[in-house]
Amino acid sequence: MTGPAGPRGDRGSSAPAKLTEYRAKRDPKKTPEPMGAKKAGRKAETALPTFVIQEHHARALHWDFRLERDGVLVSWALPKGLPLDPKSNHLAVHTEDHPLDYGTFAGDIPKGEYGGGTVSIWDHGTYETQKWRPKEIMVVLHGERAEGRYVLFPTEGKNWMIHRMDPAPANFEAMPDHVAPMLALAGELPSRDKEWAYEFKWDGVRAMVYVEGGRVRAVTRNDKSLMTTFPELRDIGEFLGARSAILDGEIVALDKDGRPSFATLAHRLHLTSKTAIDRLAKSSPASFFAFDVLYLEGRSLISAPYDARRATLESLKLQGETFATPPSATDVKGAQIARIARERGLEGVVAKRRSSHYVPGARNGDWIKIKNFRTQEVVIGGWTEGQGERAGSLGALLLGIHSDAGFTYVGKVGTGFSSASRKELLDALAPLARKTTPFNERLSPAETALAHFVRPLLVGEVRFAEWTTDGHLRHPSWRGLRSDKDPREVEREP
């Protein structure tokens, strides 16, 4: 670490020696980075030293924070960038000193070389030194984006922390740790189209995506992490860079014709092998379809009307191999959007009141889902063995829904399974076995004789024709497990 000195320090006498480590890590024939051959010219004694922050898309996205000092740029790598909230410290990893002319460098470092990746200048300016000691460096930044007083202090080894000393910028709001998703009521198309926006209903898994400092955290409605299952979600962090955001949307798996395939997605949800997950993430990645933004760069948008949130979302231009912003229609009739959804084989349409605020966890009628086919979430209470070729394997699942009356039986499903899904289900159900029925009503003797009962903890989804008069599903077909849902949340669809 460069030692204490005057306001600017010695502008170059010891710079070559300080660049030994920097030059040892780089081959000037292979990388376009400056090697520090250019000598710094003298400036007026009153001129302030410079700083630069470079966004570095290397193996892991980070920001390089560099302060001009004693003829070099003293440098730290900030994995999450500069903190704006004085209540939050960020890691700063001390790296080798860089030459002064690195302060204007932007470009591509070849893959395989040290720091390989794309470098761009995120901000630059001047700074004032308030303290420069071995264990405390305090500076005041004067940049185009970075402004204010910061302190750096070492913790262990090369690890330092950077802390904002000044209050947060005006109107800054810290990103909330958790926002419950707003929910839609099942219903019919609204009669007054001008008051509503129409979006396609995607046959996927709801996800709340939190992005901060290029790092992504994605959770289901019941707060289960999705990052291990869908590592491709990290692409959103690379795209947004330093912009912090909370996005609401759907994870969708597309088939070869570009249509959502819930069966494909359900298979991904239950993979546990990292090798298999990584292989599918590359060969047939899932996509995150963002349909709302609730927080962006220090500002909550929850109380903003739908139209304002939608305009902000579209301004982000989220479009990549694994993420997109699907369309929202405000100048067409809902019936026309519903017809297009049917023609394309989509699940349906969601109508959203254009003046409505985002109400976390609410199902207040400002969002209405209109389905093209009937689906129902169900809880598995048991299973029966197959006959003939399927003897010893899964024949059908016994299904129920929790209600005020208890765990109510709603029928069984024996179609829609692949041989692989039958095995996956049996493996998942085996640890949940119980001797007695979990249902609050007695099954027929024939069903009871063949049944293997389980604790009602696994949620799945079926497609069906209608409800019978005795409250059972008519012609159900299995669609897949829903690990994103809690069994107590499952309600009978109207």
Closest CA to 71 of 143, 137, 19: 19
C-alpha span between 465 and 487 (Å, rounded):
22
Residue 181 vs residues 289, 458, 462: alpha-carbon distances, Å = 15, 21, 23
Residue 462 — φ and ψ, nearest 5°?
Answer: -125, 155
The dotted CATH code for 375-489 is 2.40.50.140
Strand-pair category, 323-324 with 287-296: parallel
Closest CA to 462 of 401, 388, 384, 405: 401
Contact 68, 141 (CB under 8 A): no
Q: Is 283 exposed, middle or buried (0-12, 13-18, 19+ CB in 10 A)?
A: exposed
Q: What is the DSSP letter of 51?
A: E
Provide the residue type at 363 as one letter.
R
Residue 334 vs residues 70, 159, 204, 339: alpha-carbon distances, Å = 66, 56, 22, 9
C-alpha span between 386 and 450 (Å, rounded):
10
Token digits for 97?
């000193």
Contact 239, 317 (CB under 8 A): no
Q: What angle do CA 101, 126, 141 make, to 5 degrees?
A: 125
Q: Which residue in this structure is represented by tokens 């750096």? A: 152
How confident is the prediction along the chain (494 residues), in pLDDT tens digits per residue?
444 444 444 444 467 789 999 999 999 999 999 998 755 555 555 589 999 999 999 999 999 999 999 999 999 999 999 999 999 999 999 999 999 999 999 999 999 999 999 999 999 999 999 999 999 999 999 999 999 999 999 999 999 999 999 999 989 999 999 999 999 998 999 989 999 999 999 989 999 999 999 999 999 988 999 999 999 999 999 999 999 999 999 999 988 777 888 888 888 887 888 898 999 888 889 999 999 999 999 999 999 999 999 999 999 999 999 999 999 999 889 999 999 999 988 889 999 999 999 999 999 999 999 998 889 999 999 999 887 677 678 999 999 999 888 999 999 999 999 888 888 899 999 999 999 999 998 777 766 677 899 999 999 999 998 899 888 999 999 999 998 888 998 998 87
C-alpha span between 230 and 218 (Å, rounded):
9
Half-sphere exposure of 9 (CA within 13 A, CB side): 24
Marked catalytic residue, from 43, 87, 194, 201: 201
Find the radius of gyration of the CA atoms of the chain. Answer: 29
Is 43 an annotated catalytic residue? Answer: no
Q: Where are the domains of the chain?
A: 15-164, 185-371, 375-489
Q: CB atoms < 10 A from the CB of 89, how many? A: 17
Token digits for 411?
């029928």
Q: Each residue of 91-144: pLDDT tens digit?
A: 999 999 999 999 999 999 999 999 999 999 999 999 999 999 999 999 999 999
Q: What is the DSSP letter of 356?
A: P
The dotted CATH code for 185-371 is 3.30.470.30
Token digits for 25?
């890590």
Residues 6+ apart with CB under 8 A from 252: 202, 203, 204, 260, 265, 286, 287, 288, 289
Predicted pLDDT of residue 216: 97
pTM over 0.85: no
